[in-house]
Chain A
Amino acid sequence: MKKIAIYGKGGIGKSTTTANVSAALANLGYKVMQIGCDPKADSTSMLMGGRPLPTILETLRNKNNSEVALNDVVFRGFGGVLCAECGGPTPGMGCAGRGIIASFEKLASLNAYEIYRPDVVFYDVLGDVVCGGFAMPLRKGYADEIYIVTSGEKMSLFAARNIARAVDQFKGWGYAQLKGIILNARGVAEESELVKRAASEIGTDVVAEIPRDPRIQVCEEKNMTVIEGEPDSSLAETYRRLAQKIVD
């Protein structure tokens, strides 16, 4: 089982990329699980045909904790991808970081990984790792590998470096390791070179270059990944190559 956490600046395309890679892997015959770690709970929407999932935290809150079963919080989406959303509080209230921890603990206590035995698990984490809770996927026993999604934009690279630094700080804690950078292009001049240079400064590689492509919006409009909506496009092929690279 490969457990992978996806980090990157807010709005940079983490959920889009993750959902497409999940879908691609599912089509390649892998059993995939995608866990949205964001109070917005929008990570898996493209895999679920736009249907909002009951989040783990809402379910825990509304039901007696001991009555919550795996199928209350994990749902099958496109290609059989197992989808779950942690959920969380309204912005500005409570403690979303604690929410991530509680959701992960619940999944573990329900033996989600042992029962579903996925080949690949993705944690799609919200923009900034602002507190310990959002580093939860990095912890021992959760993710083993990290990919950072970035464009060539300055602020996006800044965030990427920042996350890489945090990961570096956890060296020796047995936390997940940085496996590479996924360039999700925004059309910045010499974007590929910029991001490659940043990657080598951080000490990692660019594992995929995803072009900026309006097909994403077209498919998004239909609540689909590109893998589902435009399977024959070159973009779908790019996602499939990335997917293959991640599992190899």
Chain B
Amino acid sequence: MKLDDISLEGKCLRLSEVVEDVALPKTADAQYPGSHCAFRTVAGILPLIKNSYGLLLGPAICLYNAKLTVNIRSLTSDPRPNNLLFLTYSQDDIIFGFHKKVREAILEVDRKYHPEVLFLVTTCLQEIIGEDFDASVEEIQRMVKARLLVIHTDNFTCEDAAPGIENVFLSLSELMEPQETVEGSINLLGFWTSKAKTTELARLLGSEGIKIKNAIPSYCSPEDLSRAPGVSLNIALDHFALKLAKKMKEMFGTEYIYCERPYHPDSIELWYQKIADASGIDLDLKVADLKRETEELISQAKGSFSGKSCALFGQPGRTLDMAFLLSELGIELKAIMLHRLLSDDYRDAQKLLAEGIDPLVFRGDNALQTEKLLSTLRPDICIGCRDYGVLARQGIEPCMLIPSHFKLGFEATNEILNLMRQEPAGFWALRYKEQLLNNGAV
């Protein structure tokens, strides 16, 4: 495959060329305000904390983008409640400072909505002006019942949303209080959907007398959070949550392990082993049974997928382990959309490379470039891409994995195999539209 004739040259690397824990090369300076804008991303996370409101402060366009993100999500199979409030800044606020307006807004929100927690999310604007937002909020804190938590999102200082997301996780530690440790209880950190307690992991742990006390953020309440330190173990499922795990260790001495979401059965087996070891239980037999079932499903699925090609978009946890699963199904991996390689990814990358699998990796800072790459590579399937319009235009089959995010362990992989056979709802309409256009409709 040749990339020389398109504007992507030098922006796509082979996996074998990528170094550990370094952001992939930036593909555009003007970036699509998606996952790169912490303000927008944080707006999407705050609804996951019960009894909270988020007050988003910034210029109208930033607020609009945040609102749009939340609205778009409300149309997916993982909608979140809307707990966001917006405060626009005018030129006067920039000149004279935000303090007075912010104070009035906080007092009003406290009076009208009675949130237990009120997140105050900044945009680049305050950060550039450099007003001491934290100190001014500290002063207001004395006047309100709501617990005020400031989330800084100074996007111009970084290339992705990670610092903003980490700030949300770290702010949650401020709600926590020292607790007596309840033996045989754990927290899942970095579980981004509801239903953590019905996952396969929860069932397996439960069968050995270990309870999941909290899943964070996962619609936990401030009260849940205040008691969260009273567990014998924190399991951090992603690197954002790892920050919180480390903070809780520092503040309360809570032990933690870091086990990113796996996808390949061998990896899931090791993942369970690590969790079992840290919890002092033995899950080997149960895990072996589940693994056998999943392997069975994989070998059945090979018939439908073998020989197809795909592009894979970043997934929760170990994206490259998912790539390994796909290659196991006989799918040729043409490209993986990733922002950076973390240490686990690096190990997974070595595994792929050892099998002679060396796909392109691409950061895709700009939606047009991503479409260009897809139209150049022409994969049969696109996994995890949410821009169905592009896929319909390019004649690529979409695969939507959101329901698998509600699951953990082999069941997640089983769900993925299931979802790969389904077309996302409504996609036929987009395809029909493309057909009409191709047939000369205006």
- Whether, in the assembled complex, A96 has its beta carbon less than 8 Å from a beta carbon of chain B, the answer is yes
Interface residues of A in 103-133 (CB under 8 A from B): none
Q: Which residues of A contact B94 (CB under 8 A)?
A: 94-95, 98
Segment touching A, from B27-35, B95-103, B108-116, B334-342: B95-103
Known contacts A93-B131, A94-B129, A95-B129: does B97 contact A102 (CB below 8 Å)?
Answer: no
- Whether, in the assembled complex, A48 has its beta carbon less than 8 Å from a beta carbon of chain B, the answer is no
Q: Which residues of B contact A77 (CB under 8 A)?
A: none
Q: Is the CB of A89 within 8 A of B96?
A: yes
- Contact-size category for A: 10 to 19
Q: Is the CB of A60 within 8 A of B92?
A: yes
**Which of A57, A60, A89 counts the most B-chain CB atoms under 10 A from its CB?**
A89
- Whether, in the assembled complex, A171 has its beta carbon less than 8 Å from a beta carbon of chain B, the answer is no
- Whether, in the assembled complex, B91 has its beta carbon less than 8 Å from a beta carbon of chain A, the answer is yes
Binary contact track A43-76/B, C-beta < 8 Å → 1, others 0: 0000000000000010011000000000000000
- Contact-size category for B: 10 to 19
Q: Is the CB of B97 within 8 A of A88?
A: no
- Whether, in the assembled complex, A8 has its beta carbon less than 8 Å from a beta carbon of chain B, the answer is no
Q: Is the CB of B97 within 8 A of A57?
A: no
**Which of B93, B95, B129, B131 counts the most A-chain CB atoms under 10 A from its CB?**
B95
Q: Is the CB of B131 within 8 A of A94?
A: yes
Binary contact track B115-129/A, C-beta < 8 Å → 1, others 0: 000000000000001
Q: Is the CB of B97 within 8 A of A98?
A: no
**Which of A57, A60, A61, A94 counts the most B-chain CB atoms under 10 A from its CB?**
A94
- Whether, in the assembled complex, A13 has its beta carbon less than 8 Å from a beta carbon of chain B, the answer is no
Q: Which residues of B contact A96 (CB under 8 A)?
A: 95
- Whether, in the assembled complex, A90 has its beta carbon less than 8 Å from a beta carbon of chain B, the answer is yes
Q: Is the CB of A94 within 8 A of B91?
A: no
Task: A95 to B94: give the CA distance in the assembly, Å.
Answer: 6
Interface residues of B in 67-106 (CB under 8 A from A): 91-99
- Whether, in the assembled complex, A137 has its beta carbon less than 8 Å from a beta carbon of chain B, the answer is no
What's the nearest-Cβ distance from chain A to residue B139, in Å?
Answer: 13
Task: A92 to B98: give the CA distance in the assembly, Å.
Answer: 12
Q: Is the CB of B99 within 8 A of A98?
A: no
Kindly list the 8 A-B residue pairs having the minimum CB-CB distance in the complex, ordered from nearest: A93-B97, A94-B97, A99-B95, A89-B96, A94-B96, A95-B129, A61-B92, A94-B95
**Can you list 16 A-B contacts (CB < 8 A)?**
A60-B92, A61-B92, A61-B96, A89-B95, A89-B97, A90-B96, A93-B96, A93-B97, A93-B99, A93-B131, A94-B96, A94-B98, A94-B129, A95-B95, A95-B129, A98-B94
On A, residues with C-beta under 8 Å from B are 57, 60-61, 88-90, 92-96, 98-99, 102
6 further interface pairs, Cβ-Cβ under 8 Å (given A92-B131, A93-B99, A94-B131):
A60-B92, A89-B96, A93-B131, A95-B129, A99-B95, A99-B96
On B, residues with C-beta under 8 Å from A are 91-99, 129, 131-132
